[in-house]
Structure 1
Amino acid sequence: MQRQLVERELTEEGPLRGSGAKGRRRTVTVNLAESPIAWLHARGHLDDRLFDAGERLRADYERAQLAPSVTMRWDPVRIKGGADAGLNPTERQIAAKDRFHGAIAEAGRGLSEILWRVVCAGESLPDAEKGLQWPARSGKLVLRIALDRVAEFYRIG
Structure 2
Amino acid sequence: MPARSYLRRAASLREEAFIEQHGAIGHVVAGLDGGRQSLRINREESPLSSLARLKESGGPFLPEDALAAGERLFADFTRGQLQLRITASWEPRHASRARGARGGMPDLTDSAIAARVAVNRALDVMGPELAGVALDVCCFMKGLETVERERQWPVRSAKLMLRTALMALSRRYNPPMPARRRRVEHWGAEGYRPELYS
Same fold (TM over 0.5): yes
Extract unaligned runs of 5+ from structure 2.
Answer: 1-15, 23-41, 55-59, 92-107, 177-198
Structure 2 matches for 1:80-91, cutoff 5 A?
A: 90-91=109-110
Equivalent-residue separation in structure 1 for 2:168 and 2:69 (angstroms): 9
Aligned to 1:64: 80
Q: 2:163 is paired with a residue of what secondary structure?
A: helix
Choose which of 21, 30, 53 in structure 2 pairs with 1:42: 53
Work out whether residues 36 and 125 of structure 1, in 8 Å CA contact, stay in contact via their aligned partners in 2.
no
Give the CA RMSD over aligned residues. Answer: 2.7
Aligned to 2:71: 55
Per the alignment, do residues 47 and 108 of structure 1 end up closer, same or farther by CA in structure 2, a change over 3 Å counting? same
Per the alignment, do residues 73 and 120 of structure 1 end up closer, same or farther by CA in structure 2, a change over 3 Å counting? farther
Equivalent-residue separation in structure 2 for 1:3 and 1:113 (angstroms): 33
Choose which of 112, 118, 128 in structure 2 pairs with 1:109: 128
Per the alignment, do residues 3 and 66 of structure 1 end up closer, same or farther by CA in structure 2, a change over 3 Å counting? farther
State the shift of 1:3 in Å: 7.6
Choose which of 135, 144, 150 in structure 1 pairs with 2:163: 144
Per the alignment, do residues 3 and 46 of structure 1 end up closer, same or farther by CA in structure 2, a change over 3 Å counting? farther
Equivalent-residue separation in structure 1 for 2:74 and 2:21 (angstroms): 19
State the shift of 1:107 in Å: 0.3
Equivalent-residue separation in structure 1 for 2:150 and 2:20 (angstroms): 27
Q: 1:143 is paired with a residue of what secondary structure?
A: helix
Equivalent-residue separation in structure 1 for 2:139 and 2:80 (angstroms): 12
Choose which of 95, 99, 123 in structure 1 pairs with 2:118: 99
Aligned residues: 119
Which of structures 1 and 2 has the larger relative contact order (alpha carbons within 8 angstroms, sep 6+)? 1
Equivalent-residue separation in structure 1 for 2:113 and 2:74 (angstroms): 15
Equivalent-residue separation in structure 2 for 1:100 and 1:117 (angstroms): 13
Equivalent-residue separation in structure 2 for 1:4 and 1:133 (angstroms): 39
Equivalent-residue separation in structure 2 for 1:63 and 1:73 (angstroms): 19
Choose which of 143, 149, 154 in structure 2 pairs with 1:124: 143
Extract unaligned runs of 5+ from structure 1.
Answer: 6-30, 75-88
State the shift of 1:156 in Å: 6.1
Which amino acid is the alignment partner of residue 71 of structure 1?
Answer: A
Work out whether residues 53 and 156 of structure 1, in 8 Å CA contact, stay in contact via their aligned partners in 2.
no
Render the CA deviation track for 1:15-53: whole Å, top value 9, x for unaligned: xxxxxxxxxxxxxxxx9x533312111233211110000
